[in-house]
Amino acid sequence: PCRDLECTNQGKCVETFEGEAKCQCPESNAIQFIKAEIKGDVCEIIHIDDNQITPQSCMPCSGDFHQWIKCLEKHAIQHGELSFLWKNCEKEDSECYNKLQGKDCFNDGKCNTVIDEFPIDRLNDKLFLVPKCYCSKNFQGDFCQHSFDKLRDPCEEAKDDFKCNGTCLFSEANGLQCLCDYGMKGTRCDIKDPCMPNPCEDNSTICVEIPDGTITPSYSCICGLNQDVDPKSMACITPHHKICSTTIGEPSCKNNGHCYPCALEDDGKITLCTEDEVQRGFRCICPPGFSPPFCDHKVTACSFHKCQNRGICIPKEGTLADYDCECEAEYNGTFCEQSPNICKTDGFAACVHGSCEINVKSGRGFSCKCKEGYFGYNCHIKEEWDFWNEIDVSSFEKSQFN
């Protein structure tokens, strides 16, 4: 879910227990030199109380870029260390920094305060309030210093080679890009997104694209509980049969799992069902925290543990994926895979009619001490006697193992 959510002001996208994406904003005391409350769905709002602002706060967008730099220098940050802030501007005009005295942006650009990190090793992971210029029409650059002459519009110059079926955008950082209209996607906006707008009947359903190598891929609806897919309209409907329900009418997919009827899959499409699910007639698409086939088992760190030799899996607190193995007395190792006594793991089973003794000279790490009447590598051969001559006919074989 975090793939589709972009957090601003150094916010971090996290996944909630409900499986939704959410922006986790920096703490108010994480900003250097001043306390600021960062809030909003994507951490887009920076709130600072007036009584927090002092000459030592180093507030950007005060109307003079030089004054902001000098304030940072008073906090033991060297002028040369801060040169990355105007580096791009200097590439175009070597006097760019000097011309910023008494202003934050050129050409009527609007200065806005944002939160960012400084690429300085000793200040790693520290956050600062920094100025960001939003340029008026026909200007661009970090400080709106570059005139954007329409005759030199990179999109216009490249329109024959860069076929954009949406809106062409150009930036110094990313070059030419295509901003797609609603319902289209792809680097050139030439592929129809079958799930925009959602063709399924209601918003509780999930539309899944089924790629087929064309510019008009098909789709399938992953329906909610007690719903099915209309094979003609591909919309979710309340089924008249019970392919996604038990014989008593209860949904087969538990804990808000989505039911996908495997019978609706046509030849040529990428199948979503395994052989077992095809035989069952449906597949359960489980929400985070629950496992197939029916979403009725809660997933923990121990659901797929690798503890060996009767070791007990114990989930670690505060994590959904890490665990420890509690081993029985004679075993050790991360997964209880090591035994200090090879006889307990291999020897007792190997020595059929005898006892196991540790033998470091043996390739197996042990040897078998046979009971009377047996011999062999694993004490598995019984001695046989010639009744008439009372000669041990197996003496030759026996000598091979002694």
Write out pLDDT tens, residues 225-244: 556 666 666 666 655 434 56
Question: Per-residue DSSP letters for 317-346?
Answer: TT-SS-EEEE--TT-BSTTS-B-S-HIIII
Give the pLDDT score at 397: 46
What average pLDDT does range 157-162 have in this prediction? 78
Number of folded domains that form the chain: 5
266-291: pLDDT as tens digits:
555 556 788 888 777 778 888 878 88
Residue with the bigger pLDDT between 149 and 311: it is 311
Average the pLDDT over 92-99 and give the result: 82
Q: Give the mean pLDDT of the chain.
A: 80
pLDDT given at position 129: 94
Domain that holds residue 369: 346-401
What integer is the mean pLDDT of 43-48? Answer: 91
Residue 52: count of CB within 10 angstroms of its CB:
15
- Is pLDDT above 80 for 363? no
- Same-domain check for residues 274 and 353: no
169 and 145 together in one domain: no
Dump pLDDT digits (tens) for 6-32. Answer: 899 999 999 888 778 899 999 988 899
Tell me, yes or no, whether 196 lies in a domain. no
DSSP label at residue 31: B
Which single residue is written with the structure tokens 């030089």?
A: 66
**Domain contains 368:** yes
Buried-state track 382-399, b at ≥16 Cβ within 10 A, e below 16: ebeeeeeeeeeebeeeee
Does 288 share its domain with 305?
no
61 falls within a domain: yes
Are residue 308 and residue 385 in the same domain, yes or no? no
What CATH number does residue 351 fall under?
2.10.25.10
CATH of the domain at 168: 2.10.25
In a domain, 26, yes or no: yes
Q: Residue 201's pLDDT is what?
A: 61
